[in-house]
Amino acid sequence: MTLQEFALTHKLRAPVKDDAGDLVLPGKLGDICEYDDDGKTFLVTFMGSGKSAQGWNTTKRALTEAGLTLHQDGDWEGSFLLTDPGSKRQAIAARRCLKVPLRRVLSPEHKAKLLSAGQKNHFSAA
């Protein structure tokens, strides 16, 4: 499973390229990226706010309980390996701890309403 497939499966926003050119799913407190090329393992990196170790300790406990494997353990930051990309429990825990935004999914009725409103205001329908 690629990072894009992971994002689609778990209704996350599309991955973006970081400074090094790698695809990542950015969050407010860290990011998710591919760890190896086989698509079976993702690296969940928590960088936190840097104000206290409490955020890292809470995140560490939550992700361990969800079944992620601790990879690096610092004082205020660290990383986990998400070894089962198909696991809804692991994906939700990682998303919540890192505050990764969800993808907006519009119903067909709402989408049609927005398009018709856009046409009335001289916006293109595409």
CATH of the domain at 47: 3.30.1460
CA dihedral of residues 58, 59, 62, 63 (deg, nearest 10): -150
Decide if 29 contacts 39 (C-beta within 8 A). no
Identify the bridge partners of residue 68 per DSSP, sorted by sequence position: none
In this prediction, residue 43 carries a pLDDT of 95
pTM of the model: 0.80
Residue 64 lies in a domain: yes
In this prediction, residue 48 carries a pLDDT of 81
In this prediction, residue 123 carries a pLDDT of 47
98: domain range? 3-120
Q: Which of 51-55, 81-85, 100-104, 108-112 has the highest mean pLDDT?
A: 81-85
The length of the chain is 126
The 10s digit of each residue's pLDDT in 64-79 is 999 999 999 988 899 9
Residues 6+ apart with CB under 8 A from 18: 24, 26, 31, 33
98 or 50, which is more confident?
A: 98
- Residue 57: which pLDDT band, with cuts at 50, 70 and 90? very high
**The dihedral sign for the CA sequence 116, 119, 120, 123:** positive
Residue 27 lies in a domain: yes
> How many domains is the chain built from?
1
Residue 74 lies in a domain: yes
